[in-house]
């Protein structure tokens, strides 16, 4: 099912270190399933752009294949990130099981 790892960009305008931490958590727990970045340098690269600062992704100019999500974070932001990233990776695994496939090759 998966031909390559999902390309995900995490952004936080005020606190870029939060986005860097999200990248580290995502790659640590789901490196087989995704590639993550904390900078949006190439508009065509991401499959998913996750805004961690509460901004509305619909106000950004995204590539036609890029889906935007907003994950506003509270005081316990690191635990929230771990939970949300875990859920996303669980979704990848579930979809792969549906067609009896595995994580894509790097």
Q: What is the CATH number of the domain that holds 70?
A: 3.40.50.2300
24-48 pLDDT, tens digit per residue, is: 999 999 989 999 999 988 999 999 9
Q: Residue 11 pLDDT more than 80?
A: yes
CA atoms within 13 A on the CB side of 38: 18
Query: According to the model, what pLDDT value does residue 106 have?
Result: 64
Rg of the Cα trace of the chain?
Answer: 14
Q: Is residue 90 part of a domain?
A: yes
| Mean predicted lDDT score pLDDT of the chain | 92
User: Which residues are bridge partners to 9 per DSSP?
Assistant: 37, 49
Q: Are 83 and 27 within 8 A, CB to CB?
A: no
Q: Is residue 36 part of a domain?
A: yes
Q: Is residue 10 part of a domain?
A: yes
Q: Is residue 103 part of a domain?
A: no
Which residue stretches of 1-106 are H helix? Answer: 16-30, 77-98
Total domains in the fold of the chain? 1
């Amino acid at each position: 099912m998966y031909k390559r790892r999902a390309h995900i960009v995490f952004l936080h305008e005020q606190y870029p270190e939060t986005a860097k931490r999200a990248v580290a958590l995502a790659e640590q727990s789901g490196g087989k399933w995704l590639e993550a970045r904390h900078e949006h340098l190439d508009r065509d690269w991401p499959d998913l752009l996750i805004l961690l600062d509460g901004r509305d992704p619909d106000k950004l100019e995204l590539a036609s294949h890029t889906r935007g999500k907003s994950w506003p974070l509270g005081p316990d932001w690191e635990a929230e990130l771990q939970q949300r990233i875990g859920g996303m990776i669980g979704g990848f695994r579930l979809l792969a099981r549906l067609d009896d496939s595995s994580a894509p090759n790097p």
